[in-house]
Amino acid sequence: LETGAQELGFKAVVAGPLVRSSYHAAAAYTET
């Protein structure tokens, strides 16, 4: 899933069965 999303242009992907969309969102935002 992560690789596919990055191929579509997403800069950061956190994927998993129990991952919330806001989980570490601020950290992912500052990394990009």
Instruction: Say if residue 5 is exposed, middle or buried (CB neighbours under 10 Å; 0-12, 13-18, 19+).
Output: middle
Predicted model pTM? 0.47
pLDDT tens, position by position, 1-32: 888 988 999 888 877 777 776 767 777 778 66
Q: Where are the domains of the chain?
A: 2-31
- Alpha helices for the chain (secondary structure H): 2-7, 25-31
For residue 7, the model assigns a pLDDT of 95
